[in-house]
Amino acid sequence: EVQLLESGGGLVQPGGSLRLSCAASGFSFGSYFMFWVRQAPGKGLEYVSGISSNGGTTYYANSVKGRFAISRDNSRNTVFLQVGSLRTDDMGVYYCARQKAGSYSLDYWGHGTLVTVSS
């Protein structure tokens, strides 16, 4: 069974940082492109970042470029999102998701980890 389990969220002050993790199981992790998608409270889904299967190529939304960094450790079946210079509009649930093989859709999602930015 495919599982994605995020962790690392929490309460942080504006300007602070966190490292989010997403532990994967039940599939050949190193063969899949992975994404982070976030959702502000009561709002829609927003793409944050993506990383190729071998970690060699990374992608970011303009809103987080220069502040967030995605990485992965295929030996540990884990993808990370280092979030920094946090602002109140970065607040929300952060989901990791797997890109479906041969498609541009996201076929498995974790339950999400909540990031709260407040002083």
- Which residues contribute to the site for other proteins (CB under 8 A)? 35, 37, 44-47, 50, 57, 59, 61, 95, 100, 103-112
The whole-angstrom distance between residue 44's C-alpha and the CA centroid of its chain comes to 16
Of 11 and 101, the one with the shorter C-beta distance to other proteins is 101
- The distance of closest approach from Cβ of residue 102 to other proteins in the complex, given in angstroms and rounded to an integer, is 9
Asked if 82 and 66 count as a contact pair (C-beta separation under 8 A), the reply is no
CB of 116 to other proteins, least distance (A): 17
What distance in Å separates the CA atoms of residue 15 and residue 24, rounded to the nearest whole number?
29
Which residue's CB is nearer to other proteins, number 3 or number 31? Answer: 3
Q: What is the DSSP string of 68-109?
A: EEEEEETTTTEEEEEE-S--GGG-EEEEEEEEPTTSSSEEEE
* Shortest separation between residue 29's beta carbon and other proteins, angstroms: 18
Nearer of residues 27 and 59 to other proteins, judged by Cβ: 59
| Token couple for 112 | 């999400």
Which C-beta is closer to other proteins: that of 7 or that of 16?
Answer: 7
